[in-house]
Chain A
Amino acid sequence: MRASKPAAASGRRRAQPYLFFYPAFLLVAAVSFVPLFYALRQSVYSADYLTTGGFVGLSNYTELLLHGGGLAAIGVSLTFVVGSLLLTVPLGVGLALLLNRPIRFSTFFRTVLLLPWIISQLVTGLLWLWLYDGRLGPVADAVQGLGLSFSGPLTDPDWALPSLILTNTWHSYPLVMIFTLAALQTIPRETLEAARIDAPSAWRRFRHVTLPLIRNTVLVALVLSTLHTFNTVTTVLVMTGGGPVGATEVLALKVFKEGFQFYRMEIAAAAAVVIFALNIVFTLAYIRVLRSERT
C-alpha cells in the first residue's frame, strides 16, 4: 500500500505533460490531419458535387495528369517556384547583409523592406495587375512616354509567367531577408573581425565565413519560401486566372478551380494530394542537405 502511492503520484506526474499536450494536438489534428485524410480518400473516390461516390482507384490521378493538364500545371508550378527562388534568395540575403551594416535609419529601412510580406496576396495581385497593365498602368505610361512600346506582359503567353515570378519575388523576399538578418546578428563580432584579418576580400569573407554560419537558417527560409510559392493561388487567380493559354496555370490554381468553380471535387482532391507529395519531396530534400552538412 505504502509503495503504490509514490508510484501512482509518479505516474500522474509523467502523464501531466501529455494532458496539456493532447488538446492542442487534437485541435491541430482536426484542422490538419482530418482534411488531409479526407482529401486522400476523396482522391480515390468519385464525387457528385459534395457527395462522395464509389471507389475508383487511381482514375482521378490519370484524368488529372494525362488528360486534365496536370503535368503541364506541375511544370508551370516548378518553373514558378524555381524562378522565384533564384530571385528571392539572393535578393533577401543581399538586403539582409546591407541591413546588418551600421547604416543610418536601418530600422526605417527594415520596416519598409518588410512591407511586401505584410501585404496580402490579393492586394499584391491587384497592385501588380495595375502596374503591368499595358493600357492604363504607370509602367506602360512611363515606357510609352520614352517612345518605346509596352503591351503588358500578363496577356503575352511568353511573358506572363516571368511577370508572376517577379511579383512573387517582391512579395516573398522579406521572409528570406528577415531570417537571414536574424542569423547574421548571431554571428560573434570577434569571428567577423578575425575574418577581416584572414580574408581581406568581402566576397571571400562572405563565402568562407558568413555563409557557412547562416546556411542552415537560409535553408529553413528556402523551405518556407518553396512551400509558400508552391501553394500560391490568390495572386495567380487575380492576375491571370491561369492564362493566357494556360501559361500561368499552376497546380494550386487547378485545385481551386476544379474544386470551387467546376465542382469536380475528386480531381481537386487528387491535385491537392499531388501538391502535398511534392511539398514533402522538397522538404525532405532540404532536410537531407541540412543533415549532410552536419555530418
Chain B
Amino acid sequence: MPARFLASLLAACAVGAAAYGPAADAETLQVWSYLRADTASKDVKERAVGEIVQAFKAASPGMDVAVTVMPWQQLSPSLLRASKSGQVPDVVMLFSPSVQMQIAAGTLSPLQPHIDKWPQDVRADLVHLSQNMAPKGGTYAVPWQLRVSGLMYRDDILKAAGKEPPRTLDELAALAKSLPKDGNVGLAMGFSPEAPSVAAGWFLTTVVGSGAKVFNDDGSAAFDSPQAERVAKWARDLVHSGNDAWPLNVALQGQEQAYSLFNAKRSVFFAMSSDRLDNVRLKTQLGNDIKMVRYPGWDKDKPSPALVQAWNFVIPKGARNEAAAWKFIEVSASSDLQTKLAKLAGFVPVRRSSLKDPWFQSPEAQNIDWAVDYAASHPLEFQFPENTETLYDVWAKMFGQILTDKMPPREALKAAEAEYNRRTGH
C-alpha cells in the first residue's frame, strides 16, 4: 500500500480521535441547566444558580462544576437521548411535567434511598411533589424552585370599579364581562396547541376542585364527567358572551401571547404562575397594582386546588459522580440556601423551615406568602400521567372544538377521552 495513502489514513484517524476531546474530569460535576451559573448576572435566576454552584463548591472542596446550558425545552429530550447513548451528566434540571415521563423511561436514579438517610424532621421539612414520585412510590426528583399557578389581576381596575377579586367562577365571568373598556379584554388565557400548558393546568385544577376525577385507576381517561362538562360550558359561554370578556382570538392563542397582552395592559385577568409576578409588575410598571388570587372554583370558600410546579434536580442513571450529584442536590435544597434564593429571586422555598426567617413576614415576600398559603391550604391531590404533553395537547384540541362550536362540550369531552386512551394505549 503506498506510503502516502497510509500517512493520509493515519492523519484522518488522529483528527477523528482529537474531535472527541479529552475524557471528563472525575473531580468535575457535570450539570445540565437552562440557566447559566453566574452570581454577577443581571438575571436573578442565573444568579440563583450561581449561588447553588458556589454553595456546593464550598461544601465539597476539590470539586468543580461544569454547567452545560441548553434551551429549557431541550433538557428532557436531551436526557432521554443521552441515557440511550450512555453519555449522561451527573445532575439535570427538569421541569415537573417532564419527570413522570423520565421515570417511566427508566432514565433516573431513585433519590428515595438518599432522602431516607435524613432525620425524620428533615424529610418532613422538604416539599414533596406528587409529580416527582413514581406511581408506586419513591422520589426521583428534588425541587429547587417552586411556583404556584393562579389568577393575576389588575387591582387598580377592580378598585376603580369598586369590585373585589373573584372568589367564584361566576364572579370571574361577571367581572370579565363588565370591566373591560377601550378594546381591552377580561381574561387572557389561551388553548393554542403551540403552548396550552397554563390553560390546560387551569382546566385540570378546576375539574379536580369540582370533585371529578380526570383519570381512572388504570390511568385511562375519565374526562367525561358532569363537572368537566360544567367547566367546559362555562368557558364556551364566556367566549360567546358577545363582548370582550374572553374573545375567541385570545382563548385560542398561546400562553406567550396572553402574557404579552397582559404586559401591554390590555387585559384585566391573566392565568399564570407566581414566579412571573415580579416580572409582570416590572414590565407593566404597575407595581403592586398587579396582584394574584387563587383560581376560583364554584363555591366562595372553595377555590380550585393549587397547581404547584417546580424546576427540579435529578440524577440520571449511570451518572459517574452520584455521591457528588446528591451532595449538589442536598445543598440546593438546604434551608439556608433556599432562604437566600427566596430573597434574591423571589422563589418559593422548597423547605418549610425557611419560612421561619422574619423576611417572609415582610411586604417584599408577599408574593411568596400568597403562594405558600394557597398551596398549603388547598393542595392538588392528583397523580400526573406519564406524558403531560399528550394530555394537554388532547385538551387543547378539545377546547378548540368546544370554543369554535364545532362540537358541544359533552361530545368533545367524550372524543377527547377516546383520543387520549388511543394515544396512550389504554
Q: Which residue from A67, A242, A245 sits with its C-beta under 8 Å from B401?
A: A245
Indicate if A70 sits at the interface (CB-CB under 8 A): no
User: Given A135-B185, A155-B249, A257-B393: A241 and B194 within 8 A (CB)?
Assistant: yes
Using C-beta atoms within 8 Å of the partner chain, give the interface range for chain B. 35 or more
Q: Is A151 an interface residue (CB 8 A)?
A: yes
Query: Do most interface residues of chain A lie in helix, strand or loop, or is the interface mixed?
Result: loop
Residues of A within 8 A of B5 (CB): 19
Residues of B within 8 A of A205 (CB): none
Asked if B252 contacts A135 (CB within 8 A), the reply is: no
Chain B 354-373 near chain A by CB (<8 Å), digits 1 or 0 = 00000000000000000000
**Inter-subunit contact A262/B390 (CB<8 Å):** yes
Cα of A241 to Cα of B195 in the assembled complex, Å: 8
Q: Any chain B CB within 8 A of the CB of A212? A: no
For the complex, give the distance between the alpha carbons of A136 and B263 in Å.
11
Q: Across the interface, do A262 and B404 meet the contact criterion of CB distance under 8 Å?
A: no
Q: Does A262 contact B423, Cβ atoms closer than 8 Å?
A: yes
CB contact under 8 A between A260 and B423, given known A135-B185, A135-B250, A240-B193? no
- Complex Cα distance, B257 from A241, in Å, reads 13
Number of cross-chain contacts by CB at 8 Å? 96
Most buried by B among A12, A19, A68, A243: A243
**Cα–Cα distance between A91 and B81 once the two chains are bound (Å):** 43
With a cutoff of 8 Å between Cβ atoms, the chain B residues found around residue A133 in the complex are 257
Residues of B within 8 A of A151 (CB): 247-249
Q: State A262–B185 Cα separation when bound (angstroms).
A: 33
Question: What's the least CB distance linking B13 to chain A, in Å?
Answer: 12
Task: Give chain B interface residues in 410-426, CB to chain A under 8 Å.
Answer: 422-423
Q: Which residue of B lies closest to A246 (CB)?
A: B397
A136 touches B264 (CB 8 A): yes
Contact of B321 with A by CB under 8 A:
no
Chain A residues with CB under 8 A of B194: 237-243
**Shortest Cβ distance from B261 into A: residue:** A135
Contacts of A262 in B (CB 8 A): 387, 389-390, 393, 423
- CB contact under 8 A between A264 and B397, given known A136-B261, A239-B194: no
Find the A residue at minimum CB distance from B244: A135
Q: Which of B105, B193, B248, B257 contacts A49 (CB 8 A)?
A: B105
A-B residue pairs, 7 tightest by C-beta: A241-B194, A241-B193, A155-B252, A245-B400, A134-B249, A49-B105, A243-B193
Q: Taking beta carbons and an 8 Å cutoff, which residues of A are in contact with B?
A: 12, 19, 23, 48-51, 67-68, 129, 133-136, 144, 151-152, 155-157, 237-246, 257, 260-264
Listed by A's residue number, 5 A-B pairs whose Cβ atoms lie within 8 Å are A49-B104, A135-B266, A144-B183, A155-B252, A241-B193
Given A48-B105, A49-B104, A243-B192, list of 15 further CB < 8 A pairs? A49-B105, A68-B423, A134-B247, A135-B250, A151-B247, A155-B248, A157-B404, A237-B194, A239-B194, A240-B193, A241-B196, A241-B254, A243-B400, A246-B400, A262-B423
